[in-house]
Structure formats: structure tokens, C-alpha cells
Amino acid sequence: MMGFGFGFPFMFLFWILIIGLVVWAIVQLASRSNGSTTNHQGVGRTSTQDTALEVLKQRYARGEITKSEFDEMRRDLIAS
């Protein structure tokens, strides 16, 4: 009656972990192949990087920076 002692629960968990990793890898590869990702806020965006000015506009729209901060940072970016 070997094989049904302490090792059985651990082997079961091992295979569950392996299957979970395979599913996770497939999901990651599928999301990369269609060219879209999700940022930390759950908002979808294309795989191309946002330009600094677009990020600045988004921060202003969310209310993270004031109008004067926006204008100053925009001038700095355009001057560069």
C-alpha cells in the first residue's frame, strides 16, 4: 500500500501548481500576441508607449497636477 501516505497530498498540490502555471503562461502569451496590455489601474492600452506629453495630459485630466504645473511641465517637454 505504498503511494497513499504523506506523498499523495503533496503530489496533488504539485500537479495543481503545474497546471496553474501552464494556464498562466498561455494567458500571458495570448495577451502579448494581440498587442494589448493592461496598466496597473486596469485600463487597456496599446503596446506602444505613451509619450511624455500624453502622460502629462492624463495626469492633468485625473486632477493629479494643477493647471500651472501642467503648463510648466509642458513647456519643459516641448523645449527639450
Q: What is the pLDDT along the chain (80 residues), one digit of tens a residue?
A: 455 566 777 888 999 999 999 999 999 888 877 655 555 555 554 434 568 888 999 999 999 999 999 999 998 888 86
To the question of pTM greater than 0.85 for the whole model, the response is: no
The number of folded domains in the chain is: 1
> Looking at this protein, which amino acid is placed at residue 24?
W
> Looking at this protein, which amino acid is placed at residue 16?
I
Q: Which domain holds residue 74?
A: 50-80
Residue 74 domain flag: yes
Per DSSP, the three-state class of 34 is: coil
Residue 55 domain flag: yes
Residue 80 domain flag: yes
Residue 4 domain flag: no
Residue 58 domain flag: yes
Residue 19 domain flag: no
* Distance from C-alpha of 24 to C-alpha of 27, rounded to nearest angstrom: 5
Per this entry, what is the length of the chain?
Answer: 80
- To 5 degrees, how large is the angle CA 9–CA 13–CA 19? 145
